Amino acid sequence: MSNKPKILVSRLLPQAVEQRIANSYNAVSNLEDLVLTSSDIIEKAHGLDGLLVSATERCDAAFISALPSSIKIIATFSVGYDHIDLQAAKSAGIVVTNTPDILTDATADIAILLMLGAARGAYWGEQMVRNQKWQRWAPTHPLGIDITGATLGILGMGRIGQAVADRAKAFKMDINYFKRTKLDATIENGAAFFDDLDAFLPTCQFLSINCASTEQTRGLINKATIENLPDGAVIINTARGDIVNDDDLIEALQSGKIAAAGLDVFNNEPDIDPRYRSLNNVFLLPHLGSATPNTRIAMGMRALDNLDAFFSGVTPKDVVNK
């Protein structure tokens, strides 16, 4: 019998990652990428040592308490870990790891795509062409929103926020950021620091949401904070859908308080609020932030690096519930 660690892999991963899993582990894999419920995973986990899950699997306290005692690590194929109850895992003696650093560039690229698409009417412009509504050119309509020289506010100036700021510099944008602590000047690269949200929001002609989903940030973009933005602001979200109150954002988009939005993440994905689909001033993407082959392979390899370290008796690099 092989002495390889036994793990469950909840989703079909890129081929190179699946090959490494096959070489290093006795794995219960999901090569058909079937939808696994929490009950399915718990049942399959008996006799196993660890789980390799993704952001699509909710590992709440009830799920963790039902896992067999043999499970000692949950490695998530994601940077975010808001789908895992970290305290419940820690109490159960389960290490949780994520895959940071890997998807910074890919997600920042999507943020810029959303900003351009929302501001310059990518959705309604394409619909004009596809639906044969494009008639003669006119000097006064339809018009988008200027990006060059505008002020971009970044909510959460971590790795991805910094990468968005670097890209926005190419558009000669002024960068402001809101964060609990000020960055070193060498990292700020000329961006202006705000630790007061009420002072920060009125400066944001464009607002890029790049913070983690936490108790403090869930629902942070709501009626009150939207009212504090300049009239005609543009909101971009590549972080997590639950940072935005859908009712309040949709109302602001309908009224024109918010001129446009570019969204790659949503509450209740993929069953998003259907009202977004009817709005011409919203540019929508299906959570493509990390969706490039190189990024997804790197995420899988980082998750396996953490598993390899754990099963060799070394503390994994990316433990998030110390």
Query: What positions carry a catalytic annotation?
Result: 240, 269, 287
Question: What contacts 24+ positions apart, CB below 8 Å, involve 180-186?
Answer: 183/157
Distance CA 305, CA 316 (A): 8
Q: Which residues of 198-233 are buried (b: 16+ CB within 10 A; e: fewer)?
A: eebbebbbbbbbbbebeeebbebbeeebbeebbeeb
Distance CA 104, CA 294 (A): 12
- 3-class state of residue 2 by DSSP: coil
The single residue listed with the structure tokens 């961006």 is: 191
Q: In this structure, are residues 10 and 63 in contact, taking their beta carbons and an 8 Å threshold?
A: no
Distance CA 35, CA 12 (A): 11
* DSSP per position, 42-90: HHHTTT-SEEEEETTS-B-HHHHHHS-TT--EEEEESS--TTB-HHHHH
